[in-house]
A and B are shown apart, each in its own frame.
Chain A
Amino acid sequence: MKKGLIILFFSLICSISYSQETANFDITTPFKIWLLNNEAKAMSELGRDETLINKSSTPISLLPRMDFDYKKAEEELWGIHRNIYSFLNEIQKIYDLAKRFGNGKLAVTLKQARPEIWGYSAISIQGFRLPKTIINSTRTAFFNSLFITIGLDMKRDKDLSARLKSAIRSLKDEEYRLTKEYISAFKALYPSERTIVQLEQFLDQGTKKQFATGLSEIINSAKLMVPEFTTTNKTVISTSDNEVDEDDPLSELESLSDSKGEEESKPVEQMEAPDPESSNIYDIF
């Protein structure tokens, strides 16, 4: 039993660290560098020409010097570009999260391994029954720590499709169209650059259909496991159509996953079924 727990624990840590280390899902940097480079070129040339114009625009030797900081139209364009860079940073974060956790593997691992109960499972095996408030706070602390470690925010990352739509809405319509135009220009200039195709597809398809449902599952699992032990327990359960065992948070999560439909439950189905032996440890709660 203990060996199994240790193996599960290390496999969980390894799966998280592996996904973080190998996370090279950069789809925006080549495009950003291209745009920044062109912007820098324009700024440099305009600055040089401005020096020449200022110096030569007073052809009469009687004129005094006039220092004049005037408004420049290009500043507005650079302002739009700053919005585009912020937008691209946000897109990169969303894409990164979707690629790292969106396939549902971590959700399934969490469901199977139940690491949030390891801390007190040994005590429980000995026959001690811990108060539900302690169990509740331990689980909350575990998920909070886990989410901080892997860079997840329960509210923000619950629905990545909504986050993507919100990022697109943060740009004005013409700013978004300009971004798409730049993407199209970059794609035409560098047809062998795969990242730009990925970025374009992500922007086009990410808004049309739900993606990274595995991530929602991780967050939902954390959310559902916590209120089960609180006073609002009955209210939460009563909203679910399926019958769930009040003492088993996993059964509630599974019932919720099942009710999400075929598309969402696919990654869960692909995984191996939980070991019946390991599930025994949950029975004591």
Chain B
Amino acid sequence: MKGNRLVLLLFLSLICIIYPANAERIRYNFTKGAQYSYTYTRQYLSGVTAPIIAPRKSSDSKTIDFIIKTVGFQENAFILDIGNANATFRRYISPNGVIKGAPAEDRDTIPFFLVFPDGDWKIGTTIKQNTEITAYGKKIPVVWNLTLNKVDSIKNLAVITFVTQFGVNDDRFFSRQINYSGKIIFNLSEGVIHQADWTSVYKAKQLCKENAISRNLWSFEKQTNHSLKMTGVEK
């Protein structure tokens, strides 16, 4: 009997040891007074195809450096000053990434952000978050699919991938697709994003239809590559 109890205890303790390795809690944990430096690059590629003529392509990119200063933590939200020498604004961000307040910004300037799940997140599981975005006076349904791909317990890094689907409507003459996919490397020990890369791809086609006749006119393709890298931490 005693032997059975011992085996059961051992089994339970083994589960307790193994379980944290299979799940992780992803949450921001900014240190008060610390400064986090980032570099954000956006590369824009676009192309258009018309009948007969050669496809037109263009590319452009822009990089900015910015600093996140942690002012404090209040009412379950980090008080962060985000910006650089040109402009700084304050945001109140909860540990799961929700912007709880942004006094200097209006609705249009606040990013359409994803939210980390509360509680433990099992490695390999995908969490579906249904939300909506307001653009050109319409509410467009958006689904975030977040997956915790792997956790490197030695480097203390978690890899999160995400895919986004937009409920955009097509009509008789214009069809489009918008897709987002990306990867976030989260520093578990610091409680901040270490690196993130994501891409948005937009494809659209315009055609002309009259009775039973249809003619392709133009195809548009736009791709935006984003890259966010942490360049330093000052405490």
Binding site for B on A (CB under 8 A): 38, 41-42, 45-46, 48-49, 51-53, 55-66, 68, 70-77, 80, 174-175, 177-178, 181-182, 185, 188-190
Contacts and interface: CB of A to CB of B under 8 A. Distances in A.
Contacts of B121: none
A45 B178 CA distance: 13
Nearest to A80: B53
A190 B38 CA distance: 57
A73 B56 contact: yes
Nearest to A46: B220
4 smallest A-B Cβ distances: which pairs? Answer: A61-B113, A58-B111, A70-B60, A189-B210
A66 B43 CA distance: 12
Given A42-B218, A80-B53, A185-B215, A48 B135 contact: yes
Interface stretch (B12-20, B150-158, B200-208): B200-208
B148 interface: no
B142 A72 contact: no
Contact of B82 (A38, A62, A181): A62
Contacts of B128: none
Interface in B46-88: 46-48, 50-54, 56-60, 62, 64, 66, 68, 80, 82-84, 87
B123 interface: no
A71 to B, nearest CB: 4
Contact of B135 (A46, A52, A66, A70): A52
Interface bin, chain B = 35 or more
Contacts of A60: 97, 111, 113-114, 184, 193, 196, 228
A45 B169 CA distance: 11
A177 B53 contact: yes
Contacts of B193: 60, 62
A49 B224 CA distance: 13
Q: Which of B38, B58, B168 has the largest number of chain A CB atoms within 10 A? A: B58
B178 to A, nearest CB: 7
Given A52-B178, A73-B46, 15 more contacts: A49-B168, A55-B112, A56-B200, A58-B111, A59-B112, A59-B113, A59-B144, A61-B99, A66-B40, A73-B220, A76-B56, A76-B58, A178-B53, A182-B51, A185-B215
